Chain A
Amino acid sequence: MSAVEPTGTPGGGGSVVEVRTSATAALIPTIRAVASDLAARADFDLDAISDLRMAVDEACATLVDVASPGSALQCSFTVHGNVIEVEARVDTAGPESTVSTDTFGWRVLQTLADEVELRTDGGRSVGILLNKRADPTPR
Chain B
Amino acid sequence: MSAPQDSTRPGTLVTRLEHQSSGAAVVWVSGEIDTLTAPALDEALTALLAADPSDGVVGVELSGVGFLASSGLAVLIRAAHQARAQGRDLHLVAGGRAVARPLQVTGSDRLFTLHDDLSTLPGGASSQVD
A32-B67, A47-B97, A104-B74 known; A54 vs B36 contact (CB < 8 Å): no
In the complex, are the beta carbons of A53 and B67 less than 8 A apart? Answer: yes
- Give the distance in Å from the alpha carbon of A47 to the alpha carbon of B74 in the complex: 20
A50-B97, A104-B74 known; A61 vs B35 contact (CB < 8 Å): yes
For the complex, count residues of B whose C-beta is within 8 A of A.
19
Measured CB to CB, the closest approach of chain B to A99, in angstroms, equals 14
In the complex, are the beta carbons of B67 and A57 less than 8 A apart? Answer: yes
Q: Quick check: which of A22-30, A83-91, A119-127 contacts chain B, the rest being far away?
A: A22-30
For the complex, count residues of A whose C-beta is within 8 A of B.
24
B97-130: which residues lie under 8 A (CB-CB) from chain A? 97-98, 101-102, 105-106
- Give the distance in Å from the alpha carbon of A83 to the alpha carbon of B26 in the complex: 41
Measured CB to CB, the closest approach of chain A to B104, in angstroms, equals 8
A112 — which chain B residues lie within 8 A by C-beta?
105
Q: 9 closest A-B pairs (Cβ-Cβ)?
A: A29-B10, A108-B70, A50-B101, A105-B70, A61-B35, A29-B11, A57-B69, A25-B36, A25-B35
Which residues from chain B sit less than 8 Å from chain A, CB to CB?
A: 10-11, 32, 34-36, 67-71, 73-74, 97-98, 101-102, 105-106
